Amino acid sequence: MIDRDSLLSRPFDVVEHAYTAKDCSLFALGVGLGGDPMATAELQAIFERADGFAPLPAMVNVLSYPGFWAMEPDTGLTWQKILHGEQSLTIHNPIPQEGVILGETKIVDIIDKGADKGALIYTDRKLSDKATGLPIATVSSTTFARADGGFGGPTGPVKPIHALPDRAPDTHHDFKTSPRSALIYRLSGDFNPLHADPAVAQAVGFERPILHGLCTMAVASWSLPMALRQGDFSALTHMQQRFSAPVYPGETIRTEIWEDGDTVSFRARVLERDVVVLNNGLAHLS
């Protein structure tokens, strides 16, 4: 059972993550960029000699990751029934092309939805540049612990869900993922066999390995500036969304977009199955 006070005070080691331009390129290739050798706009995230070469904003999701700490026995969590519910990123300063990032993780709240409804665990990870001390990004996650409600904790406040506009999207951007995307994306740090081994995927009810949810988020982080800022992904300073369904590598992700002044709303669906895979999205672009 969850001991709320113990989890809220749980210490996490500061994680040092050294990376190079090669790691930035590998991340972008895992997202699926580079499928068309003539798509020069994509070179800014892949080719270290390109004008404006920089890491994709969504790379902060894999920097200084503390590991799957919920598996540790003293957490009181039923890790086998945990789902990744929501993710957000906020960029404070440009992500260096290479260097060492320090990551400090903290559990900021735990909400008790009830014995038969599970628990929500809110986590923040603050990233900074070791060389300069500059804050780089804040990465926030909502973990849905389906089997761990009813521990006597508070029932709120729950993070508000961003409501999408009640009209047709203003525009969209389609992105064809690669059948190899999950196998490449995992090399950036998420080695869950669910994304590589057909037997593991089928054992939990999927017909084949699925794409990482954070990879789907990274596709949207590329599609938004492609649709709205002529591919200048440095314009993206914040994005958040809920994960609503998995993607199979090779499927086409359509990011549907609404613009209302400074507020950009979005969701993503798989065209081949007409399934919404990211929902209630909110983004800020400079």
- The single residue listed with the structure tokens 């210490």 is 11
- Residue 147 DSSP label: T
Tally of CA atoms within 13 A in the half-sphere of 167 that contains its CB: 9
Q: How far apart are CA 33 and CA 45, in angstroms?
A: 8
Tally of CA atoms within 13 A in the half-sphere of 95 that contains its CB: 31
Torsion over CA: 88, 93, 94, 95 (sign): negative
Q: How far apart are CA 30 and CA 134, in angstroms?
A: 27
**Conformation bin of residue 159: beta by default, left when phi > 0, alpha when psi is -120 to 50:** beta
Contact 134, 94 (CB under 8 A): no
Name the strands in the sheet holding 15-19, side by side, starting at the edge strand that comes first in the sequence. 15-19, 99-114, 118-129, 135-145, 82-91, 236-243, 275-285, 263-270, 252-260, 171-176
- Which residues are identified as catalytic? 190, 195, 210, 213
User: Residues, the chain, total?
Assistant: 286
Comparing C-alpha atoms, which of 232, 255, 250, 198 is closest to residue 45?
232
